[in-house]
């Protein structure tokens, strides 16, 4: 049965089995890729003013230069923080949460820089799928929780930051339901992957322990056989010596 625990690291002790070292390097590359793409969008939507030519999924409004600079700085910060913390936090779960928040912020930034493009909202689903690489079901729910809060609050405060068509209460529900369903599916897939890897690792550890026991038995037998051989050699030498004495007599 799945244990509901949002506090502790449920994958502690299995970091090697989950190949977290390589996974962390991959996630950092993804974050830097996000920064490069976002910086390009900020440039095209503020300096080139892409939306003034033709509204598109990339730009529904012209972004001011101060807005572009501020969001690029935020993007840089949410990329640098995980990069500096990678490999320095003993509790890997905290680093996974940091990455989850960073990627969620990127979702908000992409939606904002595009002027509330619906297509940019797909990024929320992309990161839920991406985070399954950690085999930690809690991360999808973190994304879902902060997404619902983001859409719900900004829909009343600054709806233009979320939807290009402005405030729409129904859209909050329409967007929340799929993100919650995605979190449910991610939970199922993560648990299947996690339990499979944990079972394999447990079986491997049992095999390693049994192998170690067999190696010990083998060494003990080799010592015992060596001791018996020594005794046999000693008896043989005594017999030879006795035969020599008899011949001399």
DSSP codes of every residue in 203-223: HHHHHHHHHHHHHHHHHHHHH
Count of structural domains within the chain: 1
Of 60-64, 93-97, 110-114, 152-156, minimum mean pLDDT range: 152-156
Residue 170 lies in a domain: yes
Helical residues (DSSP H) of the chain, grouped into ranges: 20-46, 65-85, 92-113, 122-131, 138-157, 169-248
Residue 220 lies in a domain: no
Residue 104 lies in a domain: yes
Indicate the burial class of 100 (C-beta count within 10 angstroms; 0-12, 13-18, 19 or more): buried
- pTM reported for the whole predicted model: 0.78
- Alpha-carbon radius of gyration of the chain: 32
Residue 162, domain extent: 20-203
Q: Are 147 and 124 in contact (CB under 8 A)?
A: yes
- For 135-169, write each residue's pLDDT tens digit: 999 999 999 998 888 888 888 888 888 888 878 78
Higher local confidence (pLDDT), 175 or 71: 71
Residue 58 lies in a domain: yes
- For 63-72, write each residue's pLDDT tens digit: 899 999 999 9
Say yes or no to pLDDT of 244 above 80: no
């Amino acid at each position: 049965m799945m244990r509901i625990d949002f506090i502790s690291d449920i994958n502690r002790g299995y970091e090697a089995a989950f190949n977290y070292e390589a996974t962390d390097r991959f996630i950092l590359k993804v974050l830097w890729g996000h920064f490069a793409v976002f910086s390009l969008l900020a440039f095209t939507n503020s300096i080139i003013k892409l939306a003034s030519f033709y509204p598109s999924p990339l730009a529904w409004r012209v972004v001011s230069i101060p807005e572009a600079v501020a969001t690029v700085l935020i993007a840089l910060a949410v990329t640098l923080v995980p990069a500096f913390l990678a490999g320095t936090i003993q509790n890997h779960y905290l680093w996974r949460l940091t990455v989850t928040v960073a990627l969620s912020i990127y979702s908000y930034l992409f939606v904002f820089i595009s002027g509330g493009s619906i297509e940019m909202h797909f990024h929320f689903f992309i990161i839920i799928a991406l985070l399954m690489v950690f085999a930690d079901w809690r991360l999808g729910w973190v994304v879902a929780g902060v997404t619902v809060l983001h859409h719900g609050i900004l829909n009343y405060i600054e709806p233009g930051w979320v939807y290009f068509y402005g405030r729409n209460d129904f859209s909050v529900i329409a967007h929340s339901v799929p993100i919650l369903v995605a979190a449910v599916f991610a939970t199922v897939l993560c648990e299947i992957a996690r339990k499979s890897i944990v079972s394999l690792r447990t079986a491997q550890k049992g095999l390693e322990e049994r192998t170690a026991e067999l190696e010990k038995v083998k060494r003990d037998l080799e010592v015992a056989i060596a001791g018996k051989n020594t005794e046999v050699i000693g008896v043989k030498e005594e017999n030879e010596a006795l035969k020599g004495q008899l011949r001399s007599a």
